[in-house]
């Protein structure tokens, strides 16, 4: 009989370890996607998503059958037409992806940029708003560990009359997100990030302003699969559109309910405490925050600049041989930083204590685990 698969410690910026309640939900017997029990489950998911996103009671929420990138694409496919002026805030890989997607749907894309490791300046957005029909921004830029000032940007966009699309992939469910209060029109995330559900679903929230823009389209959306009208027909009127992944709905429902039961403020506090303890433990080795200004640091993806002469690839390979996954930099930051995930079930002391013990062995540095534990406030293991 083969040996049991060793337990893996997943410390990446996504996916995250599946929440136990979500894992259990995956084993529920299959039902048809048009079954009344599934529709009842979907209604509960929609209500919980309104809480997570901080929406109006009437805001339409749903799950797209794909990952967060489908959530990104669906927004542009439904809300942008050829020739529309779209202003994209790009200070990392995912902001650049937004720009590419908008351009593929015929938008005239203009960029507001910031250097890697720095947040978008709202004043730069203000100077480029004229004529924009949509502004798109990544709330937490996963590639660099930057938190963009969405509330300030949203205030400016609301005054301009443009729609605001926000990538909440590494924030919704773990960090404050107030869609109605801020004035966000379209938001999306991925199930496998802060919620610790399996990959394959993109929870979205769509404002009435966004639906009005959609209704005024000159031509049907070119992305049939995520056509907003078709989605609403299925989720609200229970008309057949496409086959949804029912077992993933079960798991997402369980993980989302677990997050709300824990409390979003408690989850935010857990991220801050574990992140601070990691930095305290690794600082004597020469690890430093990649993002210079503390207010610009994304709590859920801790970006740390590596010490001088540190063998990035070698250490990560040695960790992987111990069944521990750590993610390095992306593109220009490859070999320069580590990006440690602090979303969902990864933002716990236990997996990072495992990392500290492993680094003690690999680097021959004692005291990492002790410093980490000493720095922790009392948080659940």
Token look-up 């009127």 returns: 237
Rounded Cα distance between 93 and 301, Å, is 14
* Structure-token pair, residue 157: 């966009």
Q: Per residue in 231-282, pLDDT tens?
A: 999 999 999 999 999 999 999 999 999 999 999 999 999 999 999 999 999 9
Q: What is the mean pLDDT of residues 141-153?
A: 98
Q: What is the pLDDT of residue 197?
A: 98
* Structure-token pair, residue 353: 């204590």
Rounded Cα distance between 244 and 65, Å, is 6
Helix (H), strand (E), coil (C) string for the chain:
CCCCCCCCEECCCCCCCCCHHHHHHCCCCCCCCCCHHHHHHHHHHHHHHHHHHCCCCCCEEEEECCCHHHHHHHHHHHHCCCCCEEEEEECCHHHHHHHHHHHHCCCEEEEEECCCCCCCCHHHHHCCCCCCCEEEEECEECCCCEECCHHHHHHHHHHHCCEEEEECCCCECCECCCHHHHCCCEEECCCCCCCCCCCCCEEEEECHHHHHHHHCCCCCCCCHHHCHHHHHHHHHHCCCCCCCCHHHHHHHHHHHHHHHHHCHHHHHHHHHHHHHHHHHHHHHHCCEECCCCHHHECCCEEEEECCCCCCHHHHHHHHHHCCEECEECCHHHCCCEEEEECCHHHCCHHHHHHHHHHHHHHHCCCCHHHHHHHHCCCCCC
pLDDT for residue 380 is more than 60: no
pLDDT for residue 1 is more than 50: no
Nearest 5 degrees, angle CA 100-CA 105-CA 110? 50
* Structure-token pair, residue 278: 């990691």
* Structure-token pair, residue 185: 């029109």
Closest CA to 143 of 336, 268, 275, 303: 303
pLDDT-derived band at 3 (thresholds 50, 70, 90) equals low
Rounded Cα distance between 191 and 204, Å, is 10
Rounded Cα distance between 88 and 76, Å, is 11
Q: What is the mean pLDDT of residues 178-203?
A: 98
Q: What is the mean pLDDT of residues 33-49?
A: 98
Query: What dihedral angle (degrees, nearest 10) is formed by the CA atoms of 184, 188, 192, 194?
Result: 0
Q: Per residue in 49-71, pLDDT tens?
A: 999 999 999 999 999 999 999 99
């Amino acid at each position: 009989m083969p040996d049991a698969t060793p337990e893996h410690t997943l410390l990446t910026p996504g996916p995250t370890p599946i929440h136990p309640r979500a894992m259990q939900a995956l084993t529920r017997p299959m039902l048809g996607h048009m079954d009344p029990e599934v529709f009842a489950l979907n209604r509960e998911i929609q209500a919980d998503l309104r809480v997570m996103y901080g929406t109006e009671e009437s805001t339409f929420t749903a799950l797209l059958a794909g990952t967060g990138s489908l959530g990104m694409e669906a927004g542009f496919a439904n809300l942008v037409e050829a020739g529309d002026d779209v202003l994209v805030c790009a200070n990392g890989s995912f902001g650049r992806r937004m720009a590419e997607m908008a351009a593929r749907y015929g938008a005239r894309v203009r960029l507001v940029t910031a250097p890697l490791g720095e947040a978008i300046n709202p004043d730069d957005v203000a100077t480029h708003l004229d004529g924009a029909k949509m502004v798109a921004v990544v709330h937490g830029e996963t590639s660099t560990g930057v938190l963009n000032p969405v509330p300030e940007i949203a205030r400016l966009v609301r005054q301009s009359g443009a729609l605001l699309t926000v990538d909440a992939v590494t924030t919704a469910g773990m960090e404050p997100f107030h869609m109605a209060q801020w004035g966000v029109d379209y938001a999306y995330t991925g199930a496998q990030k802060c919620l610790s559900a399996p990959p394959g679903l993109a929870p979205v929230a769509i404002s009435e302003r966004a639906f009005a823009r959609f209704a005024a389209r000159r031509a049907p959306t070119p992305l049939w699969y995520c056509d907003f009208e078709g989605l609403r027909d299925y989720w609200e009127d229970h008309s057949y559109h496409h086959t949804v992944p029912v077992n993933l709905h079960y798991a997402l429902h369980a993980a989302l309910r677990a997050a709300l039961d824990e409390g979003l403020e408690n989850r935010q506090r857990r991220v801050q405490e574990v992140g601070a303890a990691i930095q305290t433990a690794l600082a004597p080795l020469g690890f430093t925050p990649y993002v210079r200004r503390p207010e610009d640091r994304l709590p859920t993806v801790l970006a740390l600049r590596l010490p001088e002469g540190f063998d990035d690839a070698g250490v990560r390979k040695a960790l992987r041989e111990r069944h521990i996954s750590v993610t390095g930099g992306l593109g220009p930051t490859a070999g320069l930083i580590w990006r440690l995930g602090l979303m969902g079930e990864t933002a716990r002391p236990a997996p990072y204590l495992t990392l500290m013990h492993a680094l003690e062995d690999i680097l021959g540095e004692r005291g990492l685990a002790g410093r980490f534990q000493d720095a922790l406030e009392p948080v659940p293991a």
